[in-house]
Homo-oligomer: A and B are copies of this chain.
Amino acid sequence: MNKKLSYNVAIVGATGAVGKQIIRLLEERDFPIQQLKLLASKRSKGTIVEFKGKDLVVEEATPESFEGVDIALFSAGGKTSRSLAKIAVAKGAIVIDNTNAFRMDEDVPLIVPEVNMEEAKNHKGVISNPNCSTIQMVTALKPLYDRYGIERIIVSTYQAVSGAGNQAINELIVQTKQILDGKEVTKEILPVSSLPKKHQIAFNAIPQIDVFEDNGFTLEEMKMVRETKKIFGDPSIQVTATCVRLPIIYGHSESVYVELKEEYDLKEVRELLMNAPGVVVIDDPANQEYPLATDSAGKLDVFVGRLRRDLDHPRALNMWIVSDNLLKGAAWNAVQIAEHLIRNDYNESK
């Protein structure tokens, strides 16, 4: 990709929950677009989407779709990325991939711009966007990592259904209405659409996001473990995660216990967070102010509150981290990467 005044951009998964947000952000941010290609599965072919006042027709994503594309934003599931991303790269595009397909590949940078944008320089055509629950956590922990170092993290998540896509949002709404109307609940999508058993999400808490690994952790939990180490470039960081799906539409929340490597001053922690890029501190217990999922919806920032010293461990801090999982957790992080790419021309090593 050479530096240009405007770029040919493709969005793969343009009708999905994340794809829709990417389109909205490219429009709002006035991203310098020459041509925008909206791609999706055969099923969504022909869908009309408005972009800057013009109607665009969604096309089926095929190997031929990527001719002349400079930047391709993939968000249509791991299978689509595995079959098409490398083809897009071969045709000259830089791929920013929002799926789990390549995140742990050694030659694929896993980027959160506030944390490790410089590593995007080493890309070989594909840059991965981390998992939503990881992105918001590492964005908030970055200033603490830089100042004190991080020994271990114990995190429990409170995740919105939109992280599982449009169908999961619909399932929550439908089930909620069914329960309020005293009808039987239909279960088709959650917790994992590809697995046989389904559980009610309305008025419930499901301690499973993605499939289980042999160690008893889910893939979502292991994403938080592995991606955190990779993004900080520090395999010594210990991470324990419990990921839970909840009847929330937009906004993931996280209860984070973090043991720093050095003793800290709580006032300094607050100042570091207040000055950290992409982080907003909402932390005024006396006035019952703390981050809330509903307040985060539609916003680009990561919100941090409930900052408090651990009662027992002198180097431990407790915090509550909230962000819109479709924005900073997905679409915004991807668009941010694209904006950095065109500003800084991170393509020397390609």
- Annotate A150-194 by CB proximity to B: 1 below 8 A, 0 otherwise: 001010101000000000000001001100100000000001100
Query: A231 at interface (Cβ–Cβ under 8 A)?
Result: no
- Annotate A203-233 by CB proximity to B: 1 below 8 A, 0 otherwise: 1111110001001110000000100000000
Bound form: Cα–Cα A172–B161 in Å: 18
Query: A200 at interface (Cβ–Cβ under 8 A)?
Result: yes
Bound form: Cα–Cα A288–B206 in Å: 10
Bound form: Cα–Cα A95–B32 in Å: 72
Q: Which residues from chain B contact A200 at a C-beta distance below 8 Å?
A: 292, 294
Q: Which residues from chain B contact A208 at a C-beta distance below 8 Å?
A: 285, 288, 290
Minimum CB–CB distance for A296 against chain B, Å: 10
Number of interface residues of A (CB under 8 A): 61
Minimum CB–CB distance for A126 against chain B, Å: 28
Query: A5 at interface (Cβ–Cβ under 8 A)?
Result: no
Q: Per a CB cutoff under 8 Å, which of B216, B246, B255, B306 touches A306?
A: B216
Cβ–Cβ contact B308 & A217, under 8 A = yes
Query: A349 at interface (Cβ–Cβ under 8 A)?
Result: no
Cβ–Cβ contact B158 & A246, under 8 A = yes
Cβ–Cβ contact B288 & A195, under 8 A = yes
The complex is assembled from copies of this chain, and their number is 2
Query: A316 at interface (Cβ–Cβ under 8 A)?
Result: yes
Query: A26 at interface (Cβ–Cβ under 8 A)?
Result: no
Query: A307 at interface (Cβ–Cβ under 8 A)?
Result: yes
Look across to chain B and name the residue whose beta carbon is closest to the beta carbon of A173: B180
Q: Which residues from chain B contact A309 at a C-beta distance below 8 Å?
A: 215-216
26 A-B Cβ contacts within 8 A?
A173-B180, A180-B180, A192-B288, A196-B288, A197-B288, A200-B292, A200-B294, A203-B294, A205-B251, A205-B293, A207-B253, A207-B290, A207-B306, A208-B285, A208-B288, A212-B286, A215-B309, A216-B285, A216-B307, A216-B318, A217-B308, A239-B312, A240-B310, A240-B313, A242-B320, A244-B253
| Chain A interface (Cβ < 8 Å from any Cβ of B) | 152, 154, 156, 158, 173, 176-177, 180, 191-192, 195-197, 199-200, 203-208, 212, 215-217, 225, 238-240, 242, 244, 246-249, 251, 253, 255, 257, 285-294, 305-313, 316, 318, 320
